[in-house]
Structures are given as C-alpha cells and as structure tokens.
Amino acid sequence: MRQLPCRGAFLTAVFSLGCGLAMAQTTDLARHDLAHQVQTIVSEPGVSRAHWGVAVTRLDGTPLYGMNEAQLFQPASNAKLFTTTTAIALLGPDKTFTTRIVGRGTFTGTSSLKGDVTIVGAGDANLSGRTIPYLSPKDRPKKVAGDMPVDPLRHLAAMADQIAASGLKLIDGDIVGDDTLFPWEPYPADWSIDDALWYYGAPVSALTINDNAIGLTVEPGVNAGDAVSIVVDPTMPAYYRIDASGLTTGPAKSGNHVQFERMIGSRVLRIYGTIATDARPDNEDIAIEDPAEYAALALKSMLEARGIQVTGKARAKHQLPSEPRGFVEQSIQVAEDSARGTLLCRTAQLTEAPLSHGEERRELARHVSVPLLDDLTVTNKISQNQHAEILLHQIATRLACGGSGAQGEGILRAFMTSKVGLDPDDFLFFDGSGLSGHDLVTPRATTKLLAWATTQPWFADWKKTLPIGGEDGTLIARFPKAPLKDNLFAKTGTLGEARALSGYLVAASGKTIIFSVMVGNHTPRTTADRDAMDRIVAAIAAAN
C-alpha cells in the first residue's frame, strides 16, 4: 500500500500522528547513524590514539549527540569564544579606547617643555596598519602597481603630527611609553617559551603597537655563497640588533633553512642557516620584547624627524604586579566576589605624583580606537592572540579595578557561571586567547555558551565575527565546497597536539545547529586529526 507523504493540509489526525512517529524514528536512525560514522572516523589508524570529544545541540541547547562531551580538553583558540562573548556582553559593541600623549612639566608657551612626554596606553589593540573593518579576501581591493604599503605605525605618526602642529619645538626630558593601565604581565601562565619569539606569542601590553611585532623579510642572493638581504618593517626605530653572520645563500633547489633565535630579555636577534637562490623570500613576524619601550622609541624618532628636539631618552613605564596570591586563587576569589556583588579593587593603582609649582599636564595628541565589535572581528577571524589577551585585561580594568589577567578570568568565570549557566567544573582558563597549555574546557560547555549567545541582542553581530567555512579567516582553506561552504560559522583552535572547532552549522535540513569538536593528544606533525574533524562536521551536517 502506498504511504501518504508526511505533509499536506488534508492529512487526518491519525495520519499526522503516524507521520510524527515516522519522523521521530527517522531522526533516531539519523542520530544512530551519526554516532556510527563518528565512531568509525575516530577509530581510523591515523587518529585512533587521540582523545576525541563531540557535542551537538539545537539552537536552544537541546542535546542532539554527544561523545565525551563532559570530558575536559585543551580548547586552544576556542577560548576566544568565551573571551569575546564576555567582552561584548560586559563592555558593549560600541566601546572605544583613547590613547593619549601628554606632556608634564614646565611649558614655555607652546614651543618648549621642560619635562617628559608620555604616550599613555589605553589598551587599544589596533594601533597598526591593519585595514578596519575586516574584509573577506574576495572583498579586498586588488593592489595595483605603484600602491604604497600601509605604514604599520600610521596612527602613532598621526599623533606625532598633532604634536608638531601644536608648535612644540623642544622637549627637555624623556619620551615615555606608559602601559600601566594593566599590570606588567607580558606572558600568561604556561605560554610556551618557544612562542615568545613570534608574533602570536608577543608580550601583552596596554600599549600595543603593530600587534607588538616587527616584520622581517630574508631574500637570497644571486649566487650560492652570496650574502642575503634582510628587510625590517617598520625600518624605524631600530629595535633589535641583527646578527646574521651565520646566514648565507644556498645553491638552487636546496630549500629554505633559515632559523631565528633570541634569548628572552635580549635585544639581539640571531638569524642563521641558508636560503636557496631560487627560494621565495622568507617573511616572518618577530615579537617585540617590551612594547611600551618600543612605542616610546618610535615616537621619539618621529618627533625628531618632524624637527622637535628631544634631549632625553626613550623609556618604558610599567606597573609591576603586587598581588601575592596565585592565579587560580585570585581568579576564584574575584569570581566569588563578583557573583555576590562585593567585588573590591585588589591591585594597587599607580597614582601620578602631584604637580610641582609651575608644572602642568597638557594633552598634546590623542587617538580614539575603532569600536569594540570591529576588534572582535579581527580577534576571531584571524585568531589574534594579543587582542584576546587585551580584551581579558580590559574586562578586568572596567569591572575589577586592577586590570590583571587573574581578575579578568575571575570576571569571566563569574559571568559564565551566573549568567550563561555553565558548570564551574566544565572550564578553567589562564588566559584569554587559549595559548596557555593550562586551559581546559568541555565540548558541552562550549555548545551551551554558543546556545546562550543566540538569545542575546548582539548575537547577529557577534556571529559575523566568526570565520566562515571556505570564505575567510582561519577557515578560508577549509570546507571549500558545498554544502558546507558559506554554511559554517565557527572558531578554530590549534595548540601543540590539541585542536578544536566549534560554532554554528546549517545542516541538511536547512536548520542551524550548534557543534563543538575537540581533540587532544593527537599524533604530532600530522593533519590527520584536522581532516577527521572536518569529516565529523560534514557527518553532523548530513545527519541533521
């Protein structure tokens, strides 16, 4: 007997009931098939020794499928989901930060200052040459011959122009980079010492210039044995002394074997090895040792280039941490105090020394940041670690007075447990970016956060900050074909032998669902786990 389809206004209540049962059975079969597919994928030889976790829910948080969803994993950059949602909820999408340059001392009219000029960091993460707002690669204008590269120090240069326009000609004092808005905690707990050389492990500072990194390009000579060419961007100020005595051009087809090395605390960057005559230039971004000092050096050189005499030196001003308790103890105490509404300032605040007779404090220049939402887009799309760390400190500055990482984590913890409703044992963060090897989170906590976010007035804007499959950000090369291309909005995460992918997915039914896939302890030096992860996501889409 032919069965009637499960649709149409003519169906009787009996048929409707029968169809409902049929659809429920179909759904159960699909979920059973999904469980079988996932288990088959994670049992393959290349990934079977890894630890896998999967959680899938409806948009309202109703569970659809889980495998080890209550177990803890290193989230890597999936931690940014927690940081950016907390930031947009507590600070607001339109929040801006104003960097100021002030002179303090005795002014003679507008032309002379006996005293220091200080650039006061406000935690603006985008004092750089980056294009804002973020554009998908397909939407970026094509470069034409003769296009000038964007100056990575353009905003600092604009402030130097403001100072020059004021008529100041002599600064009889120092140029100071002040990042005391946050305690000087350049490296969060368990950041790898190997990462400190590179831009993604650059120190965290309230005064961030060009993502606290310097670009270097190494180009081979014409013939084997020739000296190589090294180009630094920006060229000024000269921050590192480069020792390239062990670097040379190798023969054709010998490949790129250039190595970079710098000891923590050193201003000597050693580059050694070989680069073949036919090799492409080696482009690297090297972390700046002390961002506030670098900002002061850059401003000093800019002022001098504009005809302003500076008699003193460039130096940094930091706020050293004063909290004697450990990170976890601090953050838990802040979380408890925040939940009770009894949060007090727990970090000593630096105060300006009183002005002496005849002294004054005069603002010489300022720069207002882009709105917070634009920075969240950069943070999530390209997984920018320093920006996420700055967000965590900004949360602490606004809500816990001191601006420390532990305070920021405490505020985040209180928010996630009291507002989002997460189990406090389902997550533990030591930073805002996920670069810390101590960070832990469960897939179910991640999907619960993603479900909660859909109920918020800022959700549509925040969702757009996530990388889009096959389209942009860190997913530009993944999910390049239908049906997942342009139908996946998710945050990636990679750290050592841990990987994660969590977000929103338009499934085969046309409905949007939430998923989190995490893997730990996968086989080193392979992408088999990433390929398996992408197949799991495809299976989730097909089964729903």
Q: Is 418 helix (H, G, I), strand (E, B) or coil?
A: helix
The predicted model gives 536-541 an average pLDDT of 98
Residue 350's pLDDT is 59
Q: Would you say residue 19 has pLDDT above 70?
A: no
Is residue 138's pLDDT more than 50?
yes
Q: How does residue 339 score in pLDDT terms, banded at 50, 70 and 90?
A: confident
Is 50 exceeded by the pLDDT of residue 16? no
CA atoms of 473 and 416, how far apart (whole Å):
26
What is the mean predicted confidence (pLDDT) over 321-350? 79
Q: Considering only CA atoms, which of 314, 346, 286, 302 is closest in space to residue 178?
A: 314
Burial class (CB in 10 A: 0-12, 13-18, 19+), 90: middle
Residue type, 98: T
Name which of 280, 224, 228, 229 is nearest 252 in CA terms.
224
Euclidean distance between CA atoms 373 and 365, whole angstroms: 25
Supply the pLDDT for residue 6. Answer: 42
pLDDT in tens, 177-232: 999 999 999 999 999 999 999 999 999 999 999 999 999 999 999 999 999 999 99
Say yes or no to pLDDT of 73 above 70: yes
| Residue 223 tokens, joined | 């013939």
pLDDT at residue number 29: 57
Please, what is the average pLDDT of the chain?
A: 92
What are residue 372's phi and psi, to 5 degrees?
A: -55, -40
All residues at 6 or more sequence positions from 231 whose CB lies less than 8 Å from its CB, including other chains:
216, 217, 219
- Express each pLDDT in 277-327 by its tens digit: 999 999 999 999 999 999 999 999 999 999 999 999 999 999 999 888 889
Q: Residue range 356-383: average pLDDT?
A: 96
Concatenate the DSSP letters of all residues of 81-147 into one string. Answer: HHHHHHHHHHH-TT---EEEEEEEEEEETTTEEEEEEEEE---EEEESS--SS---GGGSPPP-TTP
Q: What is the pLDDT of residue 135?
A: 92
**pLDDT band, very low/low/confident/very high, at 346 (cuts 50, 70, 90):** low
Q: What is the pLDDT of residue 3?
A: 39
- Which residues have CB under 8 Å from 203's CB, separation 6+? 186, 187, 196, 212, 287, 288, 289, 290, 291
Q: Which amino acid makes up residue 193?
A: I
Q: Read off the pLDDT band of 30 (50, 70, 90).
A: low
* 76 and 494 Cβ atoms separated by less than 8 Å: yes
What pLDDT is stored for residue 14 in this prediction? 39
Strand 207-209 and strand 124-127: the pairing is: parallel
Closest by CA position to 404, among listed 182, 82, 90, 120 = 182
Position 1 pLDDT exceeds 70: no
- Closest of 160, 74, 27 to residue 438, by C-alpha: 74
On the question of pLDDT at 377 being above 80, the answer is yes
Mean pLDDT of 85-112: 97
pLDDT the model gives residue 31: 67
